[in-house]
Structure 1
Amino acid sequence: MHFGTREELELLALLVSVGALLALSPTLRVPLPILLVFAGVVLSFIPGLPHVALPPDLVLVAILPPLLYSGAFFTSLRDLRINRRPISLLAFGLVGTTMAAVAFVAHEWIGLPWAVAFTLGAIVSPTDALAATEIAGRLGAPRRIVSLIEGESLVNDGTALVLYKAAVGAAVGGAFSLLDTSGRVVLNVVGGIAIGLAVGWIVRQVRRRIDDAPVEVAIAVLSGYLAYLPASAAGVSGVLAAVTIGVYMGWHTPELTTERTRLSGDAFWEIFVFLVNTLLFVLVGLQLRRIVDALSGLSTLKLTGYAALVCATVILTRLVWVPIFTYVPRFLFRSVREHDPYPPWQWPVVLSWAGIRGAVSLAAALALPNDFPHRGLIVFLTFSVIVSTLVLQGLTLPALIRGLRVSDDGRAEREDAKARIRAAEAALARLEELVEDGDVRPETAERLRGLFNFRRNRFGARFDESDDGAIEQQSVAYQRVMRTLLDAERAELVSLRNQGLIDDNVMQRVQRDLDLEAARLDQ
């Protein structure tokens, strides 16, 4: 294969730059999405590098469905049910409020026509959970805050895109009806959820009849598209359809799949989501050069002022809205207060500062028709909001979480231990049944009792205040010795392979079993 053309060398330079950032990000202690956008911005202004366009369809049709499916699949349905009221307020109420606030500012101070101003408001209203949840989760924020950020971002893309279509139609066609738009929102939500459930049921029936890990993972990847594309073609929310099928399959998949499929799927999704989001954030940064070139007729000072105005509106709207709708419903309605008591005041502060925007907003701006009024300005303002929230809020959110001493309440860890204890007890109960039936030899049963009793006691000791720590210390010592022994096994495998006594496939198969056993020690 011929290598060495200018385009190939430029691609190589881009990949090397991204790879270097990925390697340096833990040392720099800066959230990776910020580094990637910054790298894209720098690369976009390097002389000689070609302009790299971000096709809107690449994000909205090619990339968004599997990302939505993955995010919904790994979201807790129980958390969505418990938090349905605040998530609905954020995904519908805050999106609409942000759209209106930005539209008012853009019309009154920037001079955009109302329909164009509402289009801008719809574009910058949805949040992107990736950076915020990465920061909040890494710093041990309460699980409920992380759940609210994730749940909001899963739903608000659909709300914003419906409002976006209505505003674009009004700008192009010159007609806008609040009643008609409200009806469209309801139709899009109900229709998207219905199609997601219908396609999810079909996919579930298909997967019942398949027992092949690669095929099942491939079907999982396609599931987002299978819901998104028909919903979009039907004129309802493809975003909500993809989210719905993700939640549906996340609930039912444990009953359908084998351990091999689950291990393969989890590993695939982790790498896939990481690589796709890496690509997206770099592409977002690479757009700045094209955006600036398209606005050569406006002064830098005026553009900076417009950007600051819109960014401040987006941030301040969330800062005001979140505390109000956290406390006012509880104050006014006893039922809300009893069902969901007042949270610590630090929680709404953190949530209100976690409104980072992302690639979906930029894709929506770039999807505007070329002859759309003030298109270049809208794209620039959208990019400004994305970068401003990513840098300002992304860099300061860790300090805010630490400064407010917001920490995890330990609920997830307690439930994790409870689940493992109950699972071990179920295994012990089943073992006794097998012993009574004569299906297990006594010496085998004794070894298995020791294994599952140790596992049960190990996790029970973590939350037993009367325990003197002996079991936990024994567990730590056990893990340390086991890791040493597993390292010895791995070294022997490599030695056998190097001597030609076993082939690579045998080594990899045995090594995989050892890796799974080592991973189990961290649980």
Structure 2
Amino acid sequence: MTTTEAFLFVIGGVLVVAMTARVAPRIRVAGPLLLVLIGIVASYLPFLPDITVNPEWILVGVLPPLLYSAAVSLPAVEFRRDLLPIAGLAVVLVFVSSFVLGTFFYVAIPDLGYPLALALGAILSPTDAVATAVAKRLGVSRRVVTMLEGESLLNDASALVILNSAVAAFVLIASTGQPPPLIDAVGGFFWAVFIAIVIGAIVGYANLRLRSWLRSSAATTAAGFIVPFVAYLPTEELGGSGLVAAVVAGIVTGQGAARWFTPEQRMSDHVTWRTVELILEGGVFLIMGLEMSEIVTGTANGIHGIAHGLWIAGAAFGILLAVRAGYVTLLVWGQGRRLHPRRAERLNAISDRIDEIEAGGPQQLGDRGRRITEAGWNRRLAIFRRRISRAMSDLNYYRTAPLGWKHGTIIVWSGMRGVVTLAAAQTLPADAPSRHFLIFVAFTVALTSLMLQGFTLPALVRLLRVSNDDDENLVRSEQQRIVREMHQAALLAAEDGSLTRRDGSSFAPEFTERVGPLFLQAGEAEDDEARDILELRLALIRVRRERLIELSGGGQFGSAALRRALAELDASQLNVELRLESAD
């Protein structure tokens, strides 16, 4: 393929992705599923050349920004609340699935050897984020969506660590005849996760500080493009999981955006990463379909044949579903234990005990208490109260969004395979026996999963009659409470005279008292006073945002309500700033 043909192919691919994003919702089909179908049909057109993409381009160039984009918008409060089950799905389930599938492939394909069998099992184990997109569109419980999203963000790294270890074992056995020690593989996994978390957190924090200093939305957007790669590349060089580093950097950035970025930066980031996600994810699924004809041809000419590959893929798909169903059953059962009445009783008892301690003062601690200042005493009590409040909010969340068998069924059926499976399959060693056959099995499982589960998931949701109406009611209730909290903070700031203009100067007390803090329009006053009114509104918005940031750290409100409140504040601030610019 010439350079001109490559550019024409890219242009055509972007147009197809864009048009699919418009058409897919109208015909009630997820965009990635439609793109795979289009790619398969196009792959058999005689005038199109065979498409082969280096898997390194997907693993290094596509997955880090894709996962980073998803992590930036991750609902952090809900993610923290369900971190344990998410980690189970992303790590434990991947390990179990990989070893069960590896054992099956070892028995079913005698000339494979266990390292490559395990590698193929790891390739098929991670789920894809396309399930999250489908579930969101269907109105599934937010808790289920968060668990699916968290799983798809983290399980890629688990699978790739197992894959790399298995491939390294294959190479070592081929050269020396001796397998690597098990302790090396286990230690390598923990090191890969540890160094990824450290580097990802450092890169995320540096990203916040640098881009808050740049200020310009165009400059910060340009700098933001390199963040996932800055996290990924050094982590991989140090033997860590670059994908986990990109995810951690995205989570840190997403949680710090409200404090460090301007409204214009946040809105620019939202649109930019939505666009990047659409193009990259759509492009990969389109390429998946386009590569199918070549893979089928290579398998047909191999020693195993298409029929044997279809049998192996079908059995592997069934094993994946069975293992996932068994694990999710245990998960749902375990989550039900979190709602035990005694847990609420213990939290209430601890809260009452804190009240007693507060009434007794630090002197009840004897000599140690006399060394504690009043400020330190109050700070410690505030920390304990915040922890109890967060725990009670979490318990209320589990009560209002319980996981039942219906939700478990959706979690099981949403375990689709996709981008990582396709890219990882093509990283198998070139000298691996029956390489084309193994790639065909991986592609067939991914295609079967996407098509069968993706197209039937909407019908399953309708059959189970699962909706997120309770979630929406909870979000509206929380948003009303947040508005009241911010309103109270604004009133207090107006009363104590702590409001300031953008240049740091204070308002005249008589002006603040006369004008009042709420919803004044510039047209209600003379031009000179109109600017002061707009400045006052900006000051009140700053106070409300500070209060919102405090509330977001307390764990009492969900991510959806907090983000809606922040978006409304951003829109109000941009409106006022535009009017101030027009007045200059």
Which residue of structure 2 aligns with residue 412 of structure 1? 475
Q: How many equivalent residue pairs?
A: 455
Tell me, which stretches of 5 or more residues in structure 2 are unaligned?
174-178, 345-394, 498-506, 525-532, 538-573, 580-584
**More displaced, 430-439 or 373-382?**
430-439
Pair 1:46–1:15, CA change in 2 (3 A): farther
Question: What does 1:150-169 correspond to in 2, within 5 Å?
Answer: 150-169=149-168
Deviation digits for residues 245-301 of structure 1 (CA, Å, limit 9, x no counterpart):
111111112111111111111111112211211111101111101211221224332
Q: Give the aligned residue type for 1:448.
A: L
- Which letter maps to 1:235? G
Instruction: Describe the superposition over 1:216-256 as per-residue Cα deviations: whole angstroms up to 9, x where unpaired.
Output: 12222211111111100111111111111111111112111
1:338-390 CA-to-partner distances (Å, cap 9, x unmatched) read 76676222111111111011111111111222212222122111111111111
Letter in 1 for 2:254: G
Partner of 1:318: 324
Distance 1:157 1:289 in 2: 26
What CA distance in whole angstroms lies between the structure 2 residues aligned with 1:209 and 1:8?
A: 36
CA contact (8 A) 1:44 1:285 kept: yes
Inter-CA distance 224–19: structure 2 relative to 1 (3 Å threshold): closer
Q: What is residue 267 of structure 1 aligned with on the other side?
A: 271
Aligned residues of 1:167 and 1:176 also touching (Cα < 8 A): no
Question: Which residue in the other structure is 1:203 paired with?
Answer: 207
Residues 266/10 of structure 1: CA separation in 2 closer, same or farther (3 Å cut): closer
The equivalent residue for 2:489 is: 426
- Structure 2 residue aligned with 1:388: 448
- Give, in whole Å, the separation in 2 of the partners of 1:133 and 1:190: 27
Deviates more, 1:199-208 or 1:142-151: 199-208
Return the letter of the residue paired with 1:196.
G
Residue of structure 1 in register with 2:315 after alignment: 309
Match of 2:53 in 1: 54
Q: Is the aligned partner of 1:294 residue 2:304?
A: no
Query: How does the TM-score come out when normalised to structure 1?
Result: 0.79
Change (3 A) 1:17 1:79: closer
Partner of 2:183: 179
CA drift at 1:27: 2.5
2-structure distance, mates of 1:102, 1:280:
25
Question: 2 CA distance for matches of 1:363 and 1:17?
Answer: 21
Question: Which residue does the alignment assign to 1:248?
Answer: 252
Q: Which moved more, 1:20-29 or 1:218-227?
A: 20-29
Distance of 2:182 and 2:339 partners within structure 1: 28
Alignment of 1:27-176 (within 5 A): 27-111=26-110, 112-129=112-129, 131-174=130-173, 175-176=179-180
Q: Could you say which residue in structure 1 is the equivalent of 2:457?
A: 397
Q: Rate the CA distance shift 1:404–1:15 in 2: closer, same or farther, 3 A.
A: same
Name the aligned partner's letter for residue 510 of structure 2: G
Counterpart CA distance in 2 for 1:405 and 1:229 is 45
Deviation, 1:403, is 1.4
The 8 Å contact of residues 54 and 363 in structure 1, kept in 2 or not, is answered as no
Distance 1:67 1:404 in 2: 31
- Do 1:88 and 1:152's aligned partners in 2 also have CA atoms closer than 8 Å? yes
2-side partners of 1:371 and 1:117: how far apart? 15
Aligned residue in 1 for 2:509: 437
CA contact (8 A) 1:31 1:135 kept: yes
Deviations 1:162-183 (A, max 9, x none): 1010011112212144332221
- Structure 2 counterpart of 1:89, which letter? G
Counterpart residue type for residue 250 of structure 1: G
Change (3 A) 1:329 1:424: closer
* Alpha carbons 1:189, 1:236 under 8 Å: kept: yes
Question: What does residue 219 of structure 2 align with?
Answer: 215
> CA distance change for structure 1 residues 336 and 443 in 2, over 3 Å: closer, same or farther?
closer
Shift of 1:108: 1.5
Considering only aligned residues, what root-mean-square deviation do their CA atoms show, in Å? 3.2
* Residues 1:277 and 2:303 aligned together: no
Instruction: Please report the TM-score for the alignment, with normalisation by the length of structure 2.
Output: 0.71
